[in-house]
Chain A
Amino acid sequence: MESTFPEQIRKLALALACMLATREVWADYKLNLTEGVTSISREAYRLHMLALWICVVIAIVVFGAMAWSIYHHRKSRGAVAASFHDNTKVEIAWTIVPFLILVVLAIPATNALIAMNDTSNADLTIKITGLQWRWRYDYLKEDISFVSNLDDKSAAAAKQGSGIDPRTVEHYLLNVDNPVVVPVGKKVRFLLNASDVIHSWWVPDLGFKKDAIPGFVNEIWARVDTPGTYRGQCTELCGVGHGFMPIVLIAMNEPEYLVWLAQQHAASAKARAGGDRTWTREELLAKGDEVYAKNCAACHQPNGEGIPGAFKALKGSPVVKGPLAEHIDRVMNGKPGTAMPPFAAQLSDAEIAAVITHERNAWGNNTGDLVQPAQIKAARK
C-alpha cells in the first residue's frame, strides 16, 4: 500500500478540503462588525459601514478605470501610447474631492468621539483591574469585588496536548467563572487600571476597548439596552496568558440585578468569615491546589518546575523551602522587575494561606508547614 508522492499530496489536499468543509469549522462564523447593544457600538457600526461603502465606491471607480485601461490600452490590441504627462485641472480635482469625502467622514466621527468621552452622570461605577491573566471587578460604593478567571473547562482543554477537542467545550476561551454583571438601561462608568502590565478590556457589543495601564486610571462608559450575555477578550499582549483572559458581561433587568447584588453581598460576608477561622490541613491543601491551578500554574507550571530562564521553579526552590516569612512576602508582594505579580490584592487571606501551604508541601517540597489565614491577615498590617 505504498503511496507515491503525488498521490500523497492528493490525499493531503483531500483531507484538508474535507476539514474545511465540515460544519463545525464554520459554526457561528461572522463576517462583519457587531451592531452591539449600546449607543456607542451602534454609532461605531454606522461609521464603519459608511466608511466601508465609501471605500467600496472609490475602489470600483479606481480599479474600474485601471481595468478598462488594462483591457483597452494594451499593446497587443494595437494601442499606441499617448504622450501626456500632466493635467492641472484633473490633479486639483482628485486632491479636493477626496478631501471633501474625508470631511463627510470626520463629522460623524467627531460627534461619536465626543459622546464616548462623556462619562458624567453615571448611575454606577465599576473599577476593572487587569492582572496577569484575569480581571478583577470592584463595584465602588457596593463593597463587592471579585476576580474573574477563564472557566475550568476551557482552561483544561486549552492545555497543550490535553486531548480535549475545543469544539466540545461550550464558549471555549470565552467563558469565565465570575461574570461581571450590569443593570440594563443604567449608565455604567468603568474605571480601568492594571496591576502588572498593560491589558485592554474589550467587549465588542459595548462598542469599545480601553487599555488598563498600571499606575493610571482610564474612564469609559456604557448603557446596555438589551439584557443578555456579552463576551469579549483582553486585546493587549500581556504575556503567556494573554489569549486566556476573557470577559463575560451579563446585562440584567433591574430586579434580577438586585437579587444578584444581594447574593454577592452574602458571598463576600461568607468569604470574610472564612478568613477568621482555623483551617485543617486537608482543607488548606485542597483549596491551595485549586488556587495554584488558577493563578500560578500558567508560569510555574502544574508540576512546579517553571520554565527555565523565564519562570522560576518552585519545586525545591529556596524561597519555598526556606523561611516562611519570605515566602509569604513573595506571594503577597511579588518580585518587582519580574513577571511575578503581587497577589495581596487579588486573593483572600484564606486563598493565600492555602496556596502557600500547597506549595510548601507539593512536588517533594515536604516541609510539613501549615499556614493559616490569620497569619496572612497579620502580614497585611
Chain B
Amino acid sequence: MTELALPHPHDHTHPSGITRWLFTTNHKDIGTLYLLFSVSMLFIGGSFAMVVRAELFQPGLQFVSPHFFNQMATMHALVMIFGAVMPAFVGLANWMIPLMIGAPDMALPRLNNWSFWLLPFAFTLLLATLFMPGGAPSGGWTMYPPLVLQMGMAFPFLIFAVHLMGLSSVMGAINVITTVFNMRAPGMTYGKLPLFVWTWVITAFLLIAAMPVLAGAVTMLLTDKFFGTSFFNAAGGGDPVMFQHVFWFFGHPEVYIMILPAFGIVSQIVPTFARKPLFGYTSMIYAVASIAFLSFIVWAHHMFTVGMPLAGELFFMYSTVLIAVPTGVKVFNWVATMWRGSMTFETPMLWALCFIILFSIGGFSGLMLGLAPVDFQYQDTYFVVAHFHYVLVTGAVFAIIAGVYFWLPKWTGRMYDERLGKLHFWLSTISVNVLFFPQHFLGLAGMPRRIPDYAVQFSGWNMVSSLGAFAFGASQLIFLYIVVRAISGHGAKASAQVWEGAQGLEWTLSSPPPYHSFNEPPKVP
C-alpha cells in the first residue's frame, strides 16, 4: 500500500512565498487553504445575512429595495453552503484524513491542488454579479424556474460558478475515497477507521452521486434560457416542477453532505473529553450509511405543496420521518458515550455538546416538517428557516468550530486561549438561540420566508431575532482573533497528545506535525 510515488523523504526544501500556496500538493497546505477560504466566505456570507436582518429589524422598508433584499438572501445561502460549509469540511478532511489513517498525503495531490484552486475562481464569478447591471442572482438558492430565468446578466455567471463548485467537490470526493481505500497504514482496517474518516467516505459517495445531478439541472436551465429548449417551460411542453424534483434529488443529499462529516467530528470529540470509547461504533457507521441511503429517497418532502399524487405524498412522508430513526440512534450513542465517563469541558467539548442539543432541536422540527399534512402549513414559512438554521448553523457550523478548536493546537503547535474560547462559545450559543428560536414562532404565526417586509404583528420576534443576529455576527470576530493568534505563533506550546483523552495516530505526531508525515508507515495499535 505504500508503493505509491511519495515526495522524496530527504527533500525538505519546499517553495516559499506565494508559489508555495499556488503550486502546493501538500495535504496540510491545501487543507489550510480550504479553511482560510471557508472562513473568508463565512464573513462575506455573514455580512449578507446582516443586511437581511437589518432590513427585517422593523416593518417597512428602511435600508434596501426588495430587489436587493432578494439578492442578499440568495447570495447568503449560496455563499454559506458552497463557500463556507462545504469547503470547511474538505479542508478538515485534507488536514486530518491522512494523519488519521497514517498516510503520507492524499492519494491524488495534483488533483487536490486543482480542486481547491477552482474555488476562488468560482466565487469571483459569483460575487462579481453583485456589481453587474441587474445585480446578483435573486431567485433564491433553489433557482426555481421560471423565476430564475427572469434573471439578467448574472444568470450565466451563476450557472458557470455552480459548475465549477460542483467540479471541485466531486474531485475532492474522489480524492478522499481513493486515499482511504488505498493509503491506510498497515493494520488500519475498516473496523478501526476513526468516525471522522468513515463519515467522510460516505459523504464523498453522496457528493459523487449528487453534484452531477445539480450540474445537469442547471445546464438544463442554461439551455432553456439561451438555446430555446423547453425542459422546464410548460408552454413548450416542459415541466417547471421537474426542475424541483431534479434539484431536490441533489438538494436533500446535499444537506446530509453538510451534516455527516459534522457527525464525524462530534464522534471524535465526545469520546476524547469523556475519556471513554465511542459507544456503538458499528451502529454509528450503519446509522450514517442508512441516513445516506435514505437521503436519496426523501427529496420531495421539500415540495409537498406542488400537487403530487396522494401516493407520492405518502411515500415521501414515510421515508422522511424514517430518517429520524438512524438520527436518533446517533444522538443516543453520543449520550451513552458520555454516560459514566470522566468528563471535562474544554472549548471543543462545549461546542460538541451544544451541537448535540441544538442539532436535535433541528431534528425535531425536521420530524414535524416531514408530516405532510402539517407541512402544508409550515412550508415556506420561517418555521422552515428556523429548522434549517438549527441543523446547519448550530449543527454543521458548530461542529466545524468544535473541530477547529479541537485540532488547532495540532495544526499550529499552539494552545488557543481557553478563556477567550469559552467566551466565544457562550456568546455564540446564547445569541444563536436568540437569533433562531423566535423564528419558529414567526413561522407558526404565519410569516412567509423570503419577504423583505412584513405585517406588524411579526415585529416583536423579528426585532429579537435581528438583535440575536448582530450579536452572533459580532461574536465570530472573537473566533477570528483566536485563530489568528494561534497561527501567528502566540500561546502556550502544545504537546503531541494535546488532550489528555486523545486517541489515534494524529496525536502521535508532533504539534505541529512535520511537513511530510508518515513517510514510514506507522504501527497501528
Which interface residue of B146, B322, B377, B457 has the most chain A CB atoms within 10 A?
B377
The reply to whether the CB of B487 lies closer than 8 angstroms to some CB of chain A is no
A65 to B239, CA, bound (A): 50
Contact flags (1/0) for A318-357 with B, using CB distance below 8 Å? 0000000000000000001111000000000000000000
The reply to whether the CB of A371 lies closer than 8 angstroms to some CB of chain B is no
Given contacts A236-B380, A337-B225, contact A166 B456 (CB under 8 A): yes
The reply to whether the CB of A280 lies closer than 8 angstroms to some CB of chain B is no
Q: Which residues of A contact B335 (CB under 8 A)?
A: 62, 65-66, 69
Query: A214 to B234, Cβ gap below 8 A?
Result: yes
A298 to B146, CA, bound (A): 19
A173 to B331, CA, bound (A): 42
A142 to B328, CA, bound (A): 54
Given contacts A29-B460, A69-B338, A310-B67, contact A207 B134 (CB under 8 A): no
Query: A158 to B453, Cβ gap below 8 A?
Result: yes
Stretch at the interface among A72-80, A178-186, A268-276: A72-80
A32 to B321, CA, bound (A): 22
Stretch at the interface among A82-90, A258-266, A289-297, A361-369: A82-90
Query: A74 to B343, Cβ gap below 8 A?
Result: yes
Picked from A47, A86, A243, A310, the residue with its CB within 8 Å of the CB of B281 is A86
Query: A31 to B444, Cβ gap below 8 A?
Result: yes
- Can you list 20 A-B contacts (CB < 8 A)? A20-B460, A29-B460, A81-B341, A84-B279, A86-B283, A109-B372, A109-B374, A110-B314, A117-B310, A158-B453, A162-B61, A171-B455, A198-B146, A208-B305, A211-B306, A213-B234, A213-B306, A215-B234, A239-B70, A308-B134
The reply to whether the CB of A316 lies closer than 8 angstroms to some CB of chain B is no
A337 to B146, CA, bound (A): 9
Name the interface residues of B352-372: CB closer than 8 Å to any CB of A. 353, 356-357, 360-361, 364, 367-368, 371-372
Q: Which residues of B contact A40 (CB under 8 A)?
A: 373, 376
Query: A81 to B446, Cβ gap below 8 A?
Result: no
Which interface residue of B328, B336, B344, B371 has the most chain A CB atoms within 10 A?
B371
Query: A62 to B360, Cβ gap below 8 A?
Result: yes
Chain B residues within 8 Å of chain A by Cβ, number: 104
Query: B310 to A114, Cβ gap below 8 A?
Result: yes
Query: A209 to B376, Cβ gap below 8 A?
Result: yes
Given contacts A65-B335, A73-B340, A98-B325, contact A82 B276 (CB under 8 A): yes
Query: A47 to B460, Cβ gap below 8 A?
Result: no
CB distance from A173 to the nearest CB of B (A): 5
Given contacts A209-B379, A216-B241, contact A173 B455 (CB under 8 A): yes
Query: A75 to B344, Cβ gap below 8 A?
Result: yes
The reply to whether the CB of B488 lies closer than 8 angstroms to some CB of chain A is no
The reply to whether the CB of B33 lies closer than 8 angstroms to some CB of chain A is no
The reply to whether the CB of A219 lies closer than 8 angstroms to some CB of chain B is yes
Query: B373 to A59, Cβ gap below 8 A?
Result: no
Query: A106 to B340, Cβ gap below 8 A?
Result: no
CB distance from B278 to the nearest CB of A (A): 7
Q: Is the interface of A mostly helix, strand, loop or mixed?
A: mixed
Query: B374 to A102, Cβ gap below 8 A?
Result: no
Given contacts A86-B281, A211-B306, contact A102 B356 (CB under 8 A): no
Query: B60 to A166, Cβ gap below 8 A?
Result: yes
The reply to whether the CB of A255 lies closer than 8 angstroms to some CB of chain B is no
CB distance from B472 to the nearest CB of A (A): 15
The reply to whether the CB of A359 lies closer than 8 angstroms to some CB of chain B is no
Picked from A41, A66, A213, the residue with its CB within 8 Å of the CB of B353 is A66
Q: Which residues of A contact B342 (CB under 8 A)?
A: 73-75, 79-81
Q: Which residues of A contact B343 (CB under 8 A)?
A: 69-70, 73-75, 79
The reply to whether the CB of B212 lies closer than 8 angstroms to some CB of chain A is no
Stretch at the interface among B119-127, B199-207, B461-469: B461-469
Residues of B within 8 A of A (CB): 59-62, 64-67, 70, 132-135, 138-140, 144, 146-147, 149-150, 152-153, 225, 234-235, 239-241, 274-283, 305-307, 310, 313-314, 317-318, 321-322, 324-325, 328-329, 331-332, 335-345, 353, 356-357, 360-361, 364, 367-368, 371-374, 376-377, 379-381, 441, 444-446, 448-461, 463-464, 467
The reply to whether the CB of A52 lies closer than 8 angstroms to some CB of chain B is yes
Query: B356 to A66, Cβ gap below 8 A?
Result: yes
Query: B445 to A209, Cβ gap below 8 A?
Result: no
Query: A73 to B152, Cβ gap below 8 A?
Result: no
Q: Which residues of A contact B313 (CB under 8 A)?
A: 113, 117
Query: A98 to B324, Cβ gap below 8 A?
Result: yes
A90 to B335, CA, bound (A): 13
4 more CB-based (< 8 A) A-B contacts, given A73-B342, A235-B380, A308-B134 = A73-B274, A160-B64, A216-B240, A307-B134
The reply to whether the CB of A309 lies closer than 8 angstroms to some CB of chain B is yes
Query: B445 to A31, Cβ gap below 8 A?
Result: yes
Query: B324 to A102, Cβ gap below 8 A?
Result: yes
Query: A116 to B373, Cβ gap below 8 A?
Result: yes
Query: B318 to A106, Cβ gap below 8 A?
Result: yes
A62 to B357, CA, bound (A): 9
Q: Which residues of B contact A19 (CB under 8 A)?
A: 463
Query: A95 to B310, Cβ gap below 8 A?
Result: no
CB distance from A262 to the nearest CB of B (A): 32
Picked from B140, B314, B341, B457, the residue with its CB within 8 Å of the CB of A79 is B341
Query: A106 to B321, Cβ gap below 8 A?
Result: yes
**Chain B: which residue is nearest A97 at the CB level?**
B328
CB distance from B484 to the nearest CB of A (A): 23
A241 to B69, CA, bound (A): 11
Q: Which residues of B contact A238 (CB under 8 A)?
A: 147
Given contacts A109-B317, A158-B453, contact A59 B376 (CB under 8 A): no
Which 6 pairs show the lowest CB-CB distances between chains A and B?
A: A215-B234, A309-B133, A309-B134, A243-B451, A112-B373, A218-B307
The reply to whether the CB of A127 lies closer than 8 angstroms to some CB of chain B is no
CB distance from A50 to the nearest CB of B (A): 9
Picked from B134, B336, B341, B454, the residue with its CB within 8 Å of the CB of A90 is B336
Query: A44 to B376, Cβ gap below 8 A?
Result: yes
The reply to whether the CB of A267 lies closer than 8 angstroms to some CB of chain B is no
Name the interface residues of A207-236: CB closer than 8 Å to any CB of B. 207-211, 213-216, 218-219, 232-236
The reply to whether the CB of A94 lies closer than 8 angstroms to some CB of chain B is yes
Query: A106 to B353, Cβ gap below 8 A?
Result: no
A232 to B376, CA, bound (A): 13
CB distance from B289 to the nearest CB of A (A): 14
Given contacts A86-B280, A197-B150, A216-B241, contact A240 B135 (CB under 8 A): no
The reply to whether the CB of A25 lies closer than 8 angstroms to some CB of chain B is yes
A266 to B335, CA, bound (A): 70
Query: B340 to A105, Cβ gap below 8 A?
Result: no
